[in-house]
Amino acid sequence: MTGFAKPVVNELVEVNGGAVRMTCVSMGNPHCVVYVPDTAGLNLPVLGGAMEHSKWFPEGVNTEFIQILDETHLKMRVWERGSGETMACGTGACAAVVASVLNGHCKKDTDVDVLLLGGTLTIRYTGDTVLMTGNAVEVFTGTVEV
């Protein structure tokens, strides 16, 4: 990430002609969490692509768009760098909860359910450790011809 003093928490930025507030965290890979009033109405290819290729992330970034339902439930859509929208992202769900604790939306050391298109993950951020619980589910099978 470039252009900001770290840490980046609730930073107002202009993206694609509009303003969003972002919080950036690392889960071993870069994540940018953006809070939105409703995840269903997002034009994710436009906004997610704009974040991935913005000047602040020269190597790209995974962006989580979060709708806060209450302090123990978040709804999330994710744009993964190099892949586009995906049905779920474990590190993204972890990043969403860490960012939500940093922003005061969720409490430390409390289970938070993150509702994704591919299912629900339960995340607990203790302040030192991030714990994730959820199911691994096969969503696609196929054959590749070479």
Half-sphere exposure of 13 (CA within 13 A, CB side): 23
Identify the pLDDT of residue 71. 97
User: pLDDT digits over 63-88, tens only?
Assistant: 999 999 999 999 999 999 999 999 99
Average pLDDT of the residues in 88-108: 97
Tell me which DSSP letter residue 82 carries: T
pLDDT in tens, 111-143: 999 999 999 999 999 999 999 999 887 878 999
| Sequence-distant (≥ 6) Cβ neighbours of residue 3 within 8 angstroms | 55, 56
> CA quadruple 39, 84, 111, 100: dihedral positive or negative?
negative
Give percent of the chain with pLDDT exceeding 70: 100
CA 70 vs. chain centroid, Å, equals 17
